[in-house]
Chains A and B, each alone.
Chain A
Amino acid sequence: MMVLDYACAFQDAGIAGHLVHRIAQAANNPIRIMEVCGTHTMALFRHGIRSLLPRTITMLSGPGCPVCVTEQTDIDRCIALARQKDVVVATFGDLMRVPGSTASLQMAKAAGADVRVVYSAMDAVNLARRQTGRIVAFLGIGFETTAPTVGGAILAAEQLDLPNFCVLSAHKTVPPALETLMAYPGTTIDGFLLPGHVSIISGVRAYRRWFGRCQIPSVVAGFEPIDLLQGILALVRQIQADAPALENAYGRAVTENGNTAAQEVLARVFEPVDARWRGMGTIANSGLAIRSAYARFDAARRFDLAVTPLPPTKGCICGDILTGVKTPRHCPLFGSTCTPATPVGPCMVSSEGTCAAYYSYHEQEGIRP
């Protein structure tokens, strides 16, 4: 049997066209679907899916870009950490330009802080091995997909008995946020396109309790055009038939139980805590803190990172965008004061941010500016 070319096979134009046709046939009434994952937001634009959908369907971008949902105070804490003596901060590149109350990590770096972009938390561990005498602090920002990789780095540091590695954990988990979103004033969501990568780790079972309570159409989907269209078609059918179900349309990567090895690492290193989300306030048990058994790897315990909360940037409506109340079109700063080169809010910084996605594809989509 020939080797399956995954990317090409799931981009097949014939199948995609057929799915678009089916969606158009099925979507008789106005339907609002939220894609929870930032990578979905990007993929929907990149493959031009949004413009193929019938006018009855509105796609809302949810709180699925880890950088975007990180509170300004947490960004300020990252910057406070970078300003500590003898500290090297290692971070994913996305975070560099996110504005805190008064500065960004990039500005802190320009002012002398040692901030380095890494591709993996493991790179930060290796950096700590080379930088003996200085403390390498990794900024742990991300969802269930990222947390086990950071947990893995902490376990590796433990095995190496590294005294100079630590993590500032601002990780978050998706299911608690879904429940908050549905009750959020002003938000109307008919169905959720559930995040593919989070689900790879957590499995479909992670949503079962939430789904049992909320009974809202929900489909786990992948990132190729056919995955996205299949997911949307399944949602449209559920919504039109008023028959909510929890479906998995990404069976080649996502299982019922998920990646149990990753779940074990996550549970060993982290414990649930209440966490603040940009635009959504505090959500119970939606964050991940480092367990006391790993206290020596916890930057929050090793350093005093108290910061004074300041009001968020005036005019930025990221919070309303993350909750699906508004789209970047509603933001007066979009494309004028706020562009990817001069971002005002986090949604314009991250490559997965909704405002950045709208900006990159505004010509194709006919959005101002």
Chain B
Amino acid sequence: MCLAVPSRIIAIDGQNATIDTNGVKRRISLMLLADTGIGDYVIVHAGFAISRLDEASARETLALLAQAINPMPQEP
């Protein structure tokens, strides 16, 4: 029921969208998530998009973790 896998929006018509989840295409509702566009990654639950993934936040998390493994020399 919970699709924890991020899905990409590939088409939008009105309140509905077509998403691609690892190659599987499906129609979902955008009723609970305004403000999305083609190419966005969303989390889908029971046929509804419920969250748009924030790419900046994702990159920040990954960068912090990567830095923890290979600490860069401090800039002067």
Do A and B assemble together? yes
Give chain A residues whose Cβ lies under 8 Å from the Cβ of B22: 7
A252 and B32 in contact, given A7-B6, A18-B69, A149-B48 (Cβ under 8 angstroms)? no
Give chain A residues whose Cβ lies under 8 Å from the Cβ of B5: 7
- Report the minimal beta-carbon distance from B32 to chain A, rounded to whole angstroms: 4
Asked if B54 is at the interface (CB within 8 A of a chain A CB), the reply is yes
How far, in angstroms, from A254 to B61 measured CA to CA in the complex? 13
| Binary B-proximity of A7-51 (CB < 8 A = 1, otherwise 0) | 101101011001100000000000000000011000100000000
Q: Are B32 and A259 in contact (CB under 8 A)?
A: yes
Q: Are A149 and B41 in contact (CB under 8 A)?
A: no
Q: Are A6 and B32 in contact (CB under 8 A)?
A: no
Q: Are B4 and A261 in contact (CB under 8 A)?
A: no
Give chain A residues whose Cβ lies under 8 Å from the Cβ of B53: 6, 252-253
Interface centre among A18, A120, A201, A224 (most CB of B within 10 A): A120
CB-based nearest A residue for B39: A3
Asked if A245 is at the interface (CB within 8 A of a chain B CB), the reply is no
Give chain A residues whose Cβ lies under 8 Å from the Cβ of B31: 152, 155-156, 261, 265
| Binary B-proximity of A107-132 (CB < 8 A = 1, otherwise 0) | 00000000000011111000000000
Could you pull out 17 A-B pairs where Cβ atoms are within 8 angstroms? A15-B66, A38-B2, A119-B47, A120-B47, A145-B2, A145-B50, A149-B50, A196-B4, A200-B43, A201-B50, A223-B4, A226-B65, A259-B50, A261-B31, A262-B32, A262-B33, A265-B32
| Binary B-proximity of A246-272 (CB < 8 A = 1, otherwise 0) | 000001111000010110010000000
Asked if A353 is at the interface (CB within 8 A of a chain B CB), the reply is no
Prevailing SS type, chain B contact patch: mixed
Asked if B25 is at the interface (CB within 8 A of a chain A CB), the reply is no
CB-based nearest A residue for B22: A7
* B→A interface (CB under 8 Å): 1-2, 4-6, 22, 28-29, 31-34, 41, 43, 45-48, 50-51, 53-55, 57-62, 65-66, 68-69
- Report the minimal beta-carbon distance from A114 to chain B, rounded to whole angstroms: 21
Asked if A222 is at the interface (CB within 8 A of a chain B CB), the reply is yes
How far, in angstroms, from A196 to B5 measured CA to CA in the complex? 12
A149 and B58 in contact, given A7-B6, A14-B69, A230-B65 (Cβ under 8 angstroms)? no
Task: Out of A18, A19, A155, A259, name the residue touching B51 (CB < 8 Å).
Answer: A259
Q: Are B46 and A142 in contact (CB under 8 A)?
A: yes
Q: A18-B65, A19-B65, A230-B61 are in contact. List 17 more A-B contacts (CB 8 A).
A: A4-B58, A4-B59, A10-B62, A15-B65, A66-B1, A92-B1, A120-B29, A120-B47, A122-B48, A123-B47, A142-B1, A146-B45, A152-B32, A155-B31, A197-B43, A251-B61, A261-B31
Asked if A244 is at the interface (CB within 8 A of a chain B CB), the reply is no
- Using C-beta atoms within 8 Å of the partner chain, give the interface range for chain A: 35 or more
Q: Are B47 and A253 in contact (CB under 8 A)?
A: no
A262 and B50 in contact, given A7-B5, A39-B4, A226-B65 (Cβ under 8 angstroms)? yes
Prevailing SS type, chain A contact patch: helix
Give chain A residues whose Cβ lies under 8 Å from the Cβ of B33: 259, 261-262
A4 and B43 in contact, given A15-B65, A259-B32, A262-B32 (Cβ under 8 angstroms)? no
- Report the minimal beta-carbon distance from A259 to chain B, rounded to whole angstroms: 6
* A→B interface (CB under 8 Å): 4, 6-7, 9-10, 12, 14-15, 18-19, 38-39, 43, 66, 92, 94, 119-123, 142, 145-146, 148-149, 152, 155-156, 196-197, 200-201, 222-224, 226, 230, 251-254, 259, 261-262, 265, 352
How far, in angstroms, from A6 to B51 measured CA to CA in the complex? 14
Q: Are B32 and A261 in contact (CB under 8 A)?
A: yes
How far, in angstroms, from A89 to B65 measured CA to CA in the complex? 48
**4 closest Cβ pairs, A-B complex:** A120-B47, A223-B4, A252-B58, A251-B57
- Report the minimal beta-carbon distance from B8 to chain A, rounded to whole angstroms: 9
